[in-house]
Structure 1
């Protein structure tokens, strides 16, 4: 038996539910004729009235002829006409037009199938997957919207982002450093074994540190000052870096923030731990550079899309990081135990 999904009045996707259950909801008045429904095999969401026969519903009004769909409205009304001179109340559903640009457009999870099909009411390609992944960038515009609620990034989200970024920078920096040291080593007649064993001349060691530092600075400063306002680690957990007034940071401020970040670590991580206790979740480097780490939808037109919970990505990264740390601790204890036994 086919399993159905429907969009409730709060625009939340509900289901799965079988056909008799969906019909019962309609008879009880919990869903209406124009409620959007979908099941496997349908290439787009459709009003319930369009599936009345299949669901065994009687006396359901046929859906009105589809008019050109209007863009998604967010201010409580949806515009009608080319000049939006006429407005009418929203009917509890969002409408996407097939002509509306999709690049960089946020798609609420409950409406992913509708947009994947082209429109909530009609149109679109039959080959589109009903559960295509949503396009959810951080904030691809430069417009700063103030006055709304701001959800600050919690300590554990920042830890998860740091773990991801540390892995990316560590791997990328190591590869690039080895390449540079190898080229310098060939020019200085230093063998690869000397480089691998750490016995290379001081110039190679300095080159290694310089390359690693350059990669880290370019990574953090570049991504934080980009339109995304976040490193890949921060993007993964849904947070970004802004000025204290919500504006994007400059590249120069991003560079300064990285060196402030190093200072936070040099102070026995105390500077970083400050993010767990300060009012706006600021670490030492945030205070130094006048920055905030906030939810990716803060200071945008949709502050209601901000999330306070950790999220699946954050939890998974924290668990894996904890297991890795535990493994390192066990290994160190074992090594020290062997060394201690050998000196007895």
Structure 2
């Protein structure tokens, strides 16, 4: 006998139950034609109305049990209110109150729940969207810049040591002019490649954010809430170089554009939004800086101030 799962009035997954029990629930009006159901063999959750023919053998001979028309057993208004339409991008959740999405099409509903931000299918449109301003994005860039800088330095040291050894074995002087040029060129290329891969991969991942952006609670998406592709992520990284080359004007455009887009966002058709934007909980979005961003900006601001004081003191000492 086929076991079925169904979504109850609170959108929680119930089951497994046999077809006869599902029929009983329907007759008792605890579920209705728009209730989402699933059994092994179905690619995704479907409305009960779409598979009602499978329950003919489970129905009793009595008219009340065998009649599956909308007119005979139409759901009450209370059943309909709040029920998702069959075409909605909605999936029943597990028993956990915090689970927000079922597995994608083709996956078993027995799989553990995942956060809604982990799947492009979980995009929920129609709610308010908080676009992220200049300083919160600066805080994220500072974190990411520190991470990329440390990793890049380690990789560059290893690569330069290897190349220096190769040049020395080949009879070239690594400290010579040509050796210095090659080493510097390799170091720059490695840094660019690492940065491009870092930003593009994280932005195109299911997280839609780099570690810096995740720390301050923001993400990069298309204007419709979908995550960007790896190719678009690479293009966006190199577009940020353009934003910096024009005297940082590309970044300052965040302050003046309607959706707080920098030049590289406009070029690649992306937006930076709160991590809860385009989810089923848009009310959790915040337009302020947040604790992490404030702490990061304060720390880097203090370090910058100390650096300026040290430079000024050194210049004054040298002029004495």
Question: In which range does the TM-score fall when normalised by the shorter chain?
Answer: 0.5 to 0.7
1:280 match: secondary structure: coil
| Equivalent residue number for residue 119 of structure 2 | 141
Residue number among 85, 88, 113 corresponding to 2:31 in the alignment: 85
For 1:285, the equivalent position in structure 2 comes to: 264
1:42-53 paired onto structure 2 within 5 Å: none
**Residue 274 of structure 1 aligns with which residue?**
253
Give me the CA root mean square deviation: 3.3
Q: Do the aligned residues in 2 keep the contact of 1:138 with 1:228 (CA within 8 Å)?
A: no
Are 2:250 and 2:264, in contact at CA under 8 Å, matched by a contact in 1?
yes
Of structures 1 and 2, the larger Rg is shown by 2
Q: Does structure 1 residue 227 correspond to structure 2 residue 206?
A: yes
Alignment length (residue pairs): 229
Separation in 2, partners of 1:311, 1:250: 28
Q: SS of the residue aligned with 2:287?
A: coil
Q: For each residue in 1:165-190, what CA deviation from the matched residue of structure 2 results, as whole angstroms up to 9, or x when unmatched? A: 00000000111011100100011129
Which ranges of 4 or more aligned residues in structure 1 deviate by more than 6 Å? 86-90
C-alpha distance in 1, partners of 2:152/2:120? 30
Provide structure 1 residue ranges, at least 5 long, that are not aligned to the other structure. 1-69, 91-98, 107-134
8 Å Cα contact 1:239/1:294 also seen in 2: yes
Change (3 A) 1:78 1:248: closer
TM-score, normalised via structure 1 length: 0.59
Residues 196 and 234 in structure 2, CA contact (< 8 A), matched pair in contact too = yes
User: TM-score, normalization: structure 2?
Assistant: 0.64
CA distance, structure 1, for counterparts of residue 199 and residue 119 of structure 2: 20
Distance in 2 between residues matched to 1:245 and 1:274, nearest whole Å = 21
Report 1:196-235 matches (<5 A).
200-235=179-214
Work out whether residues 12 and 95 of structure 2, in 8 Å CA contact, stay in contact via their aligned partners in 1: no
Structure with a larger share of its residues in helix: 2
* Conservation of the 8 A alpha-carbon contact between 1:105 and 1:136: yes
Q: Does 1:340 align with 2:311?
A: no
Kindly indicate whether the alpha-carbon contact (under 8 Å) linking 1:138 and 1:235 is maintained by their aligned counterparts in 2: no
Whole-angstrom distance in 2 between the partners of 1:290 and 1:172: 29
Distance 1:337 1:136 in 2: 58
2 CA distance for matches of 1:173 and 1:101?
Answer: 41
State the 1:299 CA deviation. Answer: 1.0
Partner of 1:315: 294
Please list every run of 5 or more consecutive structure 2 residues that lacks an aligned counterpart in the other structure: 1-5, 16-21, 23-29, 33-77, 83-93, 101-112
